[in-house]
């Protein structure tokens, strides 16, 4: 790693936010119960319940995103049901078939900017209901969204309320993957809060791994009865931490003194400066992504040249020959990093 190389490839390239590392160090020699029954985990649960305005919510700490998605989806679906997702949804593409490994089909819908709509879900449910052969098909049993989406875009409160209403009227579960939720919450145009998620969803997770923790995702079931025996299902999925405190201490830190908000704001502030610079310098952004991921379309030569200086993520090839690269900011991005990136652009 040379000194002048810039790192914008993703939001999980460093360790943890220093405030988290500090808490892990301070508590290191304390004795606690295992499996998330320790007081730090309990404290983190309380803080998350408060932040979500969901005093009765059940909160569980798992390790990573794919694991969390597979475990929650298996817990909420019955055997004859599948999960509806955008064709670009993480569970549909980048989880190596983890949902199918658990026995469930992902029912994909076409996406726009990584999102699906209430109307699409309604048509999907209606088509299933009208199908004379529906008993030979997989029943749509829940909807999976990510906020922000895999394209860095956001569901508005209005969109989420419509999706929630469709799910409730169709007796389907609504589940939101919040791997990068800190960045959604910190985006100025976002109008979906944690209490909104708790009010509108049957389950969601508050991402830790990509939002400043070493690892960890906090699953929230606003109404715990929806997921009976979830602890055992977590264990069965190999998702139970023996030292559950490792996640608990981190989420306790993230929900103390507004750290989760700070993590998000740092990344969004940096991303907004980069987006402004891209616009100013005439770069093309193929998607309107307001969160911590910025997509830029470059000719191959430019992409190559820039990549020598800046570590970015490859996103996709466009049909016109250009390549889309992803620039991601995080809690760890400094003002100097952004200055230097803008200079390099």
Residues numbered 307-326 forming contacts with a copy of itself, rule: CB under 8 A: 311, 314
Residue 305, number of CB atoms within 10 A of its CB? 13
The Cα–Cα gap between 116 and 143 comes to: 10
From the CA atom positions of the chain, what is the Rg in Å? 20
Is 18 or 195 the residue whose CB approaches a copy of itself more closely? 18
Structure tokens given for 221:
């079931």
CB of 48 to a copy of itself, least distance (A): 21
Three-state DSSP state, 151: coil
The Cα–Cα gap between 66 and 77 comes to: 16
One of 110, 188, 238, 321 touching a copy of itself (CB under 8 A):
238
Structure tokens given for 63:
């390790």
One of 49, 104, 322, 326 touching a copy of itself (CB under 8 A):
104
Residues numbered 34-63 forming contacts with a copy of itself, rule: CB under 8 A: 34, 63
One of 85, 233, 289, 296 touching a copy of itself (CB under 8 A):
233
Buried b (16+ CB within 10 A) or exposed e, 262-276: bbbbbbbbbbbbbbe
> Which range of residues in 65-73, 260-268, 278-286, 321-329 is near a copy of itself by CB under 8 A?
65-73
**Phi-psi domain of 114 (left: phi exceeds 0; alpha: psi -120 through 50; beta: other):** left
> Which range of residues in 118-126, 224-232, 275-283, 288-296 is near a copy of itself by CB under 8 A?
224-232
Q: Does 76 bind a copy of itself (CB under 8 A)?
A: no
Residue whose token pair is 């606690």: 32
Q: Does 10 bind a copy of itself (CB under 8 A)?
A: yes
Residues numbered 181-220 forming contacts with a copy of itself, rule: CB under 8 A: 209-210, 214-215
Is 77 or 121 the residue whose CB approaches a copy of itself more closely? 77
The count of chain residues that interact with a copy of itself, using the rule CB under 8 A, is 79
Residues numbered 145-184 forming contacts with a copy of itself, rule: CB under 8 A: none
Q: Does 237 bind a copy of itself (CB under 8 A)?
A: yes
CB of 27 to a copy of itself, least distance (A): 7
Q: In the 8-state DSSP scheme, what is residue 284?
A: B
Q: Answer yes or no: are the C-beta atoms of 107 and 83 closer than 8 Å.
A: yes
Three-state DSSP state, 6: strand
One of 19, 46, 53, 64 touching a copy of itself (CB under 8 A):
64
Three-state DSSP state, 36: coil
């Amino acid at each position: 790693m040379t000194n002048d190389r810039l790192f914008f490839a993703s939001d999980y390239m460093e360790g943890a936010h220093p405030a988290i590392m500090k808490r892990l160090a301070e508590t290191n020699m304390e004795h606690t119960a295992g499996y998330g029954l320790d007081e730090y985990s309990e404290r983190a649960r309380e803080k998350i319940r408060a932040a979500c305005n969901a005093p009765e919510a059940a909160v569980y700490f798992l390790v990573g995103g794919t694991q969390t998605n597979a475990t929650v989806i298996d817990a909420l679906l019955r055997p004859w049901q599948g999960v509806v997702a955008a064709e670009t949804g993480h569970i549909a593409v980048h989880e190596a078939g983890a949902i199918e490994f658990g026995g469930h089909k992902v029912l994909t819908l076409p996406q726009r900017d990584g999102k699906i709509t209430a109307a699409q879900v309604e048509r999907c449910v209606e088509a299933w209901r009208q199908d004379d052969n529906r008993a030979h098909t997989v029943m749509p049993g829940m909807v999976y969204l990510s906020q922000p989406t895999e394209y860095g875009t956001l569901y508005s409160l209005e969109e989420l309320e419509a999706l929630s209403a469709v799910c409730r009227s169709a007796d389907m579960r609504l589940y939101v993957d919040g791997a990068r939720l800190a960045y959604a919450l910190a985006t100025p145009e976002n109008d979906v809060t944690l209490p909104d998620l708790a009010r509108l969803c049957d389950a969601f997770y508050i991402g830790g791994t990509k939002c400043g923790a070493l690892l960890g995702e906090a699953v929230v079931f606003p109404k715990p009865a929806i997921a009976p025996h979830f602890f055992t299902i977590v264990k069965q999925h190999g998702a139970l931490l023996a030292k559950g405190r490792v996640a608990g201490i981190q989420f306790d830190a993230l929900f103390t003194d507004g750290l989760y908000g700070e993590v998000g704001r740092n990344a969004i502030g940096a991303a907004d400066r980069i987006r402004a610079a891209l616009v100013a310098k005439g770069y093309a952004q193929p998607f309107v992504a307001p969160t911590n991921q910025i997509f830029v379309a470059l000719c191959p030569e430019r992409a190559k040249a820039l990549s020598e200086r800046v570590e970015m993520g490859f996103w996709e090839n466009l049909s016109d020959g250009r390549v889309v690269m992803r620039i991601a900011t995080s809690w760890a991005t400094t003002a100097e990093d952004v200055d230097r990136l803008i200079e390099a652009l």
